[in-house]
């Protein structure tokens, strides 16, 4: 009898420790609530812990479950973050394709660029798309962070997301600088 009580107590403590760790990682969602989110069920706890998750968690910020009415209005800043990701993806795809043909040695670099522009099918188009995508990436990243700053969206709970965006802006500018070299 004593062993079964100890086993139940150990199981409850283990479950509680795992649930606490999940709540830390998911910004307040427990295991039962996380399961309900993934299944599309209504909230299992009161007050609804899902509201805090969308303002504090970077993962759930990318694809929220609902939107405020004011954020769905088409304005001049609509979806700047999405467009930044689109241009990063274009850069990745075109960069990998161009990397196949480019030879980064001092002797062969210029001739490989000429080969890409003249002999590779759609090479000149791919190079132009890559160049324009790089410029658009920098512009949209800067505009997105500028909008976030002026609307005050970086304060309090979203400060980690803001800090991540600043790091990504720095990486973008560094990559842009080294792309000219």
Q: Which domains does the chain show, CATH number per domain? A: 2-66 (no CATH), 71-180 (1.20.810.10)
pLDDT, residue 70, reads: 57
- DSSP-assigned states of every residue in 28-42: S--HHHHHHHHHTPP
What number of CA atoms fall less than 13 Å from residue 55's CA on the CB side? Answer: 11
Question: What share of the chain has pLDDT > 70, as a percent?
Answer: 78
pLDDT, residue 111, reads: 92
Buried b / exposed e along 30-53 (16+ C-beta atoms within 10 A) = beebbebbeeeeeebeeeebbeeb
Q: Model's pTM, two decimal places?
A: 0.58
Of 21 and 3, which is predicted with more confidence? 21
């Amino acid at each position: 009898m004593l062993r079964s009580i100890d086993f139940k107590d150990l199981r409850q403590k283990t479950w509680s420790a795992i649930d606490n760790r999940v709540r830390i990682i998911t910004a307040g969602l427990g295991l039962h609530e996380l399961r309900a989110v993934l299944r599309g069920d209504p909230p299992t706890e009161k007050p609804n812990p899902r509201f805090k998750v969308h303002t504090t968690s970077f993962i759930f910020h990318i694809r929220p479950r609902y939107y405020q009415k004011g954020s769905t209005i088409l304005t001049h800043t609509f979806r700047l973050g999405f467009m930044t990701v689109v241009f990063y993806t274009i850069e990745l795809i075109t960069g990998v394709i161009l990397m196949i043909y480019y030879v980064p040695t001092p002797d062969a670099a210029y001739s490989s660029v000429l080969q890409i522009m003249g002999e590779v099918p759609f090479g000149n188009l791919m190079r132009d798309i890559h160049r324009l995508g790089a410029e658009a990436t920098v512009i949209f990243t800067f505009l997105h962070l500028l909008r976030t700053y002026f609307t005050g969206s970086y304060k309090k709970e979203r400060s980690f997301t803001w800090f991540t965006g600043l790091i990504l802006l720095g990486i973008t500018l560094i990559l842009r600088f080294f792309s000219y070299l």
